[in-house]
Every structure is written in structure tokens, then in C-alpha cells.
Amino acid sequence: KIVDSLTMVATVDPEYVQVTLSTQCKGEWRESARCDGLHQGDEVNFKATIQVRKCPVGDKIKFQLKPTSLEDHIDVELSVSCDCDCEKQDNPTYEAASSKCNSGGDLQCGVCVCNSSRYGDVCQCEVNSNRMNHNDTTATCRMNADSPICSDAGICLCGSCVCRERDNLAERYSGRFCECDNFTCLRNRGLLCSGPDHGTCVCGMCVCHPGWSGERCECAVNKLTCQQPGTNVECSGRGKCTCGVCKCETRDGVAYSGRYCQECPTCQSQQCAIYSDYVACHVFNSGPLKHNCPKVNFTIKTVDALQESDDDVHVCRVADDDGCYFFFRYEVDISLVEVQRKQECPEPVNVFAVVVGVVGGIVLMGIMLLISWKVITSIHDSREFAKFENESKNAQFDRGANPLYVPSTTTFANPTFRG
């Protein structure tokens, strides 16, 4: 029978014998019981590694190795010797309840065979009710079935993790599964948890001391740095104090700024427009509200002159109906508007002077144009006359007969006259 693939199987009870098969397909060995892509004449080699896992009843184990697609097979018979002389109690090397096995097992053939209440390489561990299977000595050293033993940060000893030490003795692993440490927390300015004065690294997270907050314990809880001097309002009521710095908000489309969110770059023109009608009405009896001047919820104070202002005080310049300007200022967060009593009005225009100036300018411009024209034409005529004189001097005339001259008398000869 011709086949293009070959699979080798072992008919053996895996409880007693483990058979590992390797194949050599096309010259390459690999751990597999199957070889594909065969052609007529190809040679396939199989190698079987046999390991006895448990002593059988009797001393013989028989099984077959055979390909699944062919009827050929190989009979294998193992002779198993499960009893060694060194395992016998009368052997000189045999030690019952040996001290080398922590008195918890017998030393047989140089290996500790623990009793039912002990386990471990030297029977150093005791079986307790919490351990369901003492053959799996690492089960209780894992957080879950897929986790590494002791989080790869320690060794499992008698079902408990013993965390390893680091070169820097101040750095430590901790926790039941060695899952915690005190050296991988976030840093600020190169310092773990912003330094020992700010916080402590516990199980990979910063635990801040009183007065500090943040992932790195870098933020002071005290909010005095977010309060404008002279007030006790956080960020002027227009933001939040985060890590000692005001994070300003945008309200009703208005973006506030400044160290204390006290500034509004887009607000000044709006505020000037809001106050101007009330100031014009109450102080100068002008503006659109002069016939029905309403009450206001802020104080209007008139002064002779406006003083120089700081950053929180804004000065407004507004034109009234007469073309004059009045000035006032308002302070952020304080309901006070100071108005300068005297308005600034531009001087009236002298119409006569303007008319005379315009007419005089036009006449003067005309005279200047005429003079310019006269000068230009005179210069041009002078150049043309000089050119004519120069050509006249250089001209040479011949003295030949004038082809246009006709004499006043004419003589005729009569050929028939014989006189």
C-alpha cells in the first residue's frame, strides 16, 4: 500500500510507560510521531524514547509500535526491575527515619523516601489540611494557575514563598507570593514617591504622608498657593487647585487665566460695554439710558483723575453721543466703578480754515503745474534751437546750376530761313 503520510503510535498504558516519538523526514529530526509529504522511495526513520513511570504488576511490560496506515508493527517487551538491593532494610546504606531526611522519611539508595506526613527533597515539609495534593509542592506558591512561582521573585519552600534579596538591601520583595516591592513606584525628580518626606512605596504604589497627594506624592494638600493674596477664595472661584496650581475653567464661553484664574483676556471689552451705558446715564446724563436711568447693583464713584492700576484693574475709554470720551475703571471681583469727572473732547474743526486751505492748496498746485510746464517747454525749445544751429554750421552746399531755374529769354532757330 502506497501512502503519502505516516504516523507511528505506541499501544501502551501511559500510566506505566511514557513513549516519546521523533521522526526523521527528509533528513531532519523533529519531535513528532507523524511525517507528511512522502513520495515513493522516501525513507523515514523513527526514534522512540521510553520511560517507565510506574512499576507494573510483575516485571514485564509489553506493547507495540506500529504505523496507523500499515499492518506492520514492532513488538516491545520491557523487563522492569523495581526492587534494588539498596532499598532493602538490611542494606548497609539503608537508614530508617534518617536524620538526613529530617527524621521524616527513610534514606534509600541515597534518596529520601518521605512518610505520608512529610514531603520535600529531604522531607523538610509537613503535610497539612490546607494542602490537597502534596505532590504539587508549588500550587500554594502561585497567585493562580497561570502565575509564575512566587511571581518570579522568590522560591517556593514547603508551599510558601521565600522572597529573594536584592543587592540593595533597602529594596525588598514582599507579600504572600512575593508580588509586592518597595522600589518600582513612580518617581518625581528622580526620587521614589517624590522622596521619603513625601511618601513611601508600598507594593508598587505610593502611600503619601499627611499633607501630600498625587500618584507620586508630589502635590501639596495645602491650597494657600491657589489663593490670591488678601482673599481666601480658591482660584478666584473660577477653577480648581490641582497640585498647588490653579487649573482655570471656561464658563459661558469665557476662558479665564492667570495664576489665580483672575484674568479674562476676552472679558474687558465686554465689561466696558456693559458698564458704559450705566456710567453715561448716571454721571454724564447721556447715552441710550439717559431718559430712564435704572438702578445698578454696583457702586459708581467719580474721581478727578484715574490712578495707575494694577493687573486686576481695567480702564475703559468710551465715546458718547457728542463725540467726547469718558474714562472709567473697574476692578475684578469688586463691585466698584471709578469714573473720571472730566471728559476729553476733540477741538472743533475750523471750517473756514479748512476751506481756505483746500482752495489755496488747489490754486498753489495749479501754479506749480504751470511753472513746471513752462520750465520743461523752455528747456526743450533751447535744446532744439541749439541742435539746429549746430546742424547749420556743419552743412556744406555746392554751387551747381539750379535745376529749377528757367531763363527769361528763349532763342528758336528756323531751319527754313535763308537769310
Task: Count how many Cα atoms sit within 13 Å of the Cα of residue 73 in the half-sphere of its side chain.
Answer: 12
Pick 191-220's CATH classification: 3.40.1350.10, 2.10.25.10, 3.40.640.10, 3.30.70.330: 2.10.25.10
Q: Which residues pair with 112 in a beta bridge?
A: 107
Of 66-80, 129-143, 215-229, which gets the smallest average pLDDT?
129-143
pLDDT class of 164 with cuts at 50, 70, 90:
very high
Please report the pLDDT score of residue 208 as a whole number.
94
Among 121, 89, 86, 92, which residue's Cα sits nearest to residue 104?
121
Q: How is residue 302 written as a grid cell?
A: 467719580
Q: Are 252 and 258 in contact (CB under 8 A)?
A: no
Q: Which residues pair with 300 in a beta bridge?
A: 337
Give all strands (DSSP E) within 153-279, no chain letters: 154-157, 160-163, 173-174, 180-181, 187-188, 191-192, 199-202, 205-208, 212-213, 219-220, 239-242, 245-248, 250-251, 254-255
Task: Count how many Cα atoms sit within 13 Å of the Cα of residue 98 in the half-sphere of its side chain.
Answer: 20
Q: If you average pLDDT over residues 114-137, what whole number do you get?
A: 72
Q: Is the dihedral of CA 95, 97, 100, 106 positive or negative?
A: positive
Identify the CATH number of the domain defined by range 87-163. 2.10.25.10
Among 110, 196, 124, 210, which residue's Cα sits nearest to residue 159?
124
Residue 66: partners with Cβ closer than 8 Å, 6 or more residues away: 8, 9, 11, 72, 73, 74
Work out the percent of the chain whose per-residue pLDDT is above 90: 18
Provide the residue ranges of all domains of the chain, joining segments of one domain with +.
Answer: 6-82, 87-163, 191-220, 224-255, 268-340
pLDDT class of 42 with cuts at 50, 70, 90:
confident
| Alpha carbon distance 148, 158 (integer Å) | 16
Please report the pLDDT score of residue 332 as a whole number.
59
Q: Structure pTM?
A: 0.39
Fold entry, domain 268-340: Hormone receptor fold (4.10.1240)
Q: Are 118 and 128 in contact (CB under 8 A)?
A: no
pLDDT class of 132 with cuts at 50, 70, 90:
very low
Q: In this predicted model, what pLDDT tens digit does every residue of 89-105 receive, in sequence order?
A: 888 889 998 999 999 99
**Fold agreement between 6-82 and 87-163:** no
Q: Are 101 and 114 in contact (CB under 8 A)?
A: yes
Please report the pLDDT score of residue 196 as a whole number.
93
Q: How is residue 243 written as a grid cell?
A: 497640585
Identify the CATH number of the domain defined by range 6-82. 2.60.40.1510
Please report the pLDDT score of residue 173 as a whole number.
94
Rg (C-alpha) for the chain, rounded Å, is 58
Long-range contacts made by residues 86-93, C-beta under 8 angstroms, separation at least 24? 86/110
